[in-house]
Amino acid sequence: MHFSNFQNNKTMKKFILFLIVILIIIFPTIITQPYILHIMIMVFIYAILGGAWNILSGYAGQVSLGNAMFFGLGAYASSVLWLFYNINPWIGMIIGGLFAVAFGIFLGMPVFRLRRQYLAIATIAASQIIMTIFLNWEYVKGASGLALPLMPNSLKHMTFLYGKNGFYFISLAILIFFTFVVFVITKTKLGYYFRTIKEEEDSARSIGINTTQYKLVAISITAFFSAIAGTVYAQYFLYIDPNMVFSLRVSFLIVLISAFGGTATIFGPILGACVLIPINEMARMFFGGAGRGIDLFSFGILILVVAIYRPAGLVSLFYGKEKLAIRENLPGKDGKVDGENENIES
Amino acid sequence: MNLAVIFQAIINGISIGFVYSIVALGLTLIWGTMRIINFAHGDFLMMGMYATFWIFMLIKIDPLLSCLLIVMPVSFGAGLLYYRVILKHILKREVITQILATFGVGIILQSIAMFFWKPDYRIIRGNILSGTFRFVGISIGIPQFVTSIICIIAMLALFYFLNRTKTGLAIRATTLNKEAAALVGINIENIYYLVVGIGISLVGLAGNLLTNYYYVFPNVGMSFALFAYVIIVLGGLGSVKGALAGGLILGIVTSLTGAFLNPAFKYIAVFLVYLMVVVIKPEGLGGR
């Protein structure tokens, strides 16, 4: 045997991946039901959001529970520019992304001094504040939301009133590009810095890594791609209000997609979105307003099961035994608890 | 601005501040001993409120009576169950696992409330505690007043328990050093059960008291929990006195923001306080 089992496996995997990508690209020509395509678009958008969360919280370990704020800022930035200043949504998408990056850095500078739990609290609080501001801000029409102008179908204006194919390919293209970016990050120094910050922050600092700076890099990438997904979302629905984009529900869903699929993996968030978003959309369709809470309930159960029984996520089902053992044996299991040397007083 | 308005706002702030303190106390106890931040804390508060509300509506037991008789014991039991089913399994896990698991419990509680009771705002009418009285030109709501007194009693009782009884001292010993506490013969497992039980029953008490004058809805816990997180950071983690001081400060801050700016902006004021504290004095006001 010339080929070792390992290499064989790798070519096989590449081939399967290639097949899946081809299948996804020709998908809209085979299946034309708008509802299915709608679910696929939502899967792509949430896969980007989950993946973006994964950079900051999965790889760099800075758990954010308020990622909806970047999503919403992106959606609002491009919509306001389009509606009030007549700036093309494509340009608005980039401006919105940069705006979210600026906000992320502004937020990150003070809060990245905090250890994990405090950081999570700070991100919830920040997202709540942003939502409160947008709900009470006359300029963006408060709770009644913004309706975007109806334009004739054109790629230039990111408007496709008839058919879903336009947004299917736009969101797919962004997802593929984003996945490529994540792949590059994991293969370069940056990815290793992130992982070091996650596993051993103090050691990272002691060998001269400027941890705050790399956390800011992480939040910038996260904010940028979340905001881009926000613009696509706003253009797709042609309407946004603060509850659609800023609510805690969105933040939960983002965290859950990534945690369910597998944190700190490239395909985890995509897998998570493929499983959870259809459930979410179906629950909305079948139960509607009457059965509110059923979808939340199933999310809660899923979070619990994944957190307690399979911390490595769904993607670990595809791992071999060795890799699983490495991933499951994460720090914290040896009895070391974070923040052990905090001050305590009673 | 009128001086009476300021005083009124401060008094209102203090009365809600006591409730914030009680909520934060449960959180800070659990954090202190187990090093887990309970992200479902606000949802336990919400459940306490719904329990009180439905006990009053269905079997006509006033919140004032159901407090010691039903709500607190039941929440104590819920706390034990919570520890047994969830917290026990995530004690030594990664931080993200702890956050996700406690968060998941919160989502489940919220969805249960959402499913059975709909997102309507409900409030009790015709309970014993109602009306207001005036005191040197400031009107004080009777429910708020009685609530504050009960909160003070509860805090004194907890303080006495932690500092003067053997079990309380065992809890404090565990907080300071787990290994040493285990060495001198303290059963850490039992302490954990007890602490989660006490923590959740305190939150049940807060929910019960709040129901006297506050709206009940499935997301009500969110804002209280957020404030509690800020309070325990403000007051120093694991500190009882710090929780009291932090609660009062936050109550006054939110109340003044509500009076002078817009009640919707109280989150912003609270978050600014949080940022200021973590940046300037990360160990909290009560910390060394």
Distance from CA of B255 to the nearest CA of A (A): 17
Kindly write down the DSSP assignment for every residue of A73-134, as one continuous string.
HHHHHHHHHHHHS---HHHHHHHHHHHHHHHHHHHHHHHTTS-HHHHHHHHHHHHHHHHHHH
Closest approach of chain B CAs to the CA of A109, in angstroms? 10
Q: Using N-to-C axis directions, what is the helix angle for B220-235 and A116-135, rounded to 10°?
A: 130
Q: Is residue A189 part of a domain?
A: yes
Cβ-based contacts of A132 with chain B (< 8 Å): 264-265, 267-268
Q: Is A44 helix (H, G, I), strand (E, B) or coil?
A: helix
Domain for residue A48, yes or no?
Answer: yes
> Per-residue confidence at A291, pLDDT binned at 50, 70, 90?
low
* Any domain includes A141: yes
Chain B segment 245-284 residues within 8 A of A by beta carbon are: 262, 264-265, 267-268, 270-271, 274-275, 278-279, 282-284
In a domain, A66, yes or no: yes
Q: Hey, what amino acid is at A171?
A: S
Q: Residue A338: which of B95, B105, B274 has the nearest Cβ?
A: B95
Domain count, chain A: 1
- What pLDDT score does B81 carry? 94
Number of H-type helices and E-type strands within chain A: 14, 2
Asked if residue A334 is part of any domain, the answer here is no
Residue B20 binned pLDDT confidence (cut-offs 50, 70, 90): very high
Q: Using one digit for the tens of pLDDT, what is the confidence trace for A79-115?
A: 999 988 988 889 999 999 999 999 999 988 888 877 7
Structure tokens at A181: 């970016």
The Cα–Cα gap between A272 and A255 comes to 10
For residue A31, is pLDDT > 50?
Answer: yes
Nearest by Cα to A71 from A310, A260, A255, A318: A255
> What value does the mean pLDDT of chain B take?
86
Cα separation, B250 vs B183, whole angstroms: 39
The residue of B94, B115, B162 whose CB has the most chain A CBs within 10 angstroms, and thus the best one to mutate to test that interface, is B94
Q: Is residue B210 a contact partner of residue B148, using CB atoms and an 8 Å limit? A: no
Residue A150 forms part of a structural domain: yes
Work out the mean pLDDT of chain A and round it to a whole number.
82
Mean pLDDT calculated for residue range B126-145: 80
Strands (E), A131-196: 146-147
DSSP-assigned beta bridge partners for residue B141: B132
CA distance A294 to A7: 45
Within 8 A of B280 by CB-CB distance, chain A residues are none
Which residue segment(s) compose the domain that A236 sits in?
31-247
Report yes or no: B217 and B207 within 8 Å, Cβ to Cβ.
no
Residue A346 binned pLDDT confidence (cut-offs 50, 70, 90):
very low
Looking at the domain assignment, is residue A180 inside a domain? Answer: yes
Q: Which of A332-341, B11-20, B135-144 has the lowest mean pLDDT?
A: A332-341
A128 lies in some domain: yes
Residues from chain B contacting residue A61 (CB–CB below 8 Å): 96
Determine contact, residues B203/B28, Cβ cutoff 8 Å. no
- Residues B148 and B15: beta-carbon distance below 8 Å: yes
What residues of A are in contact with residue B278 (Cβ under 8 Å)?
110-111, 113-114, 118, 122
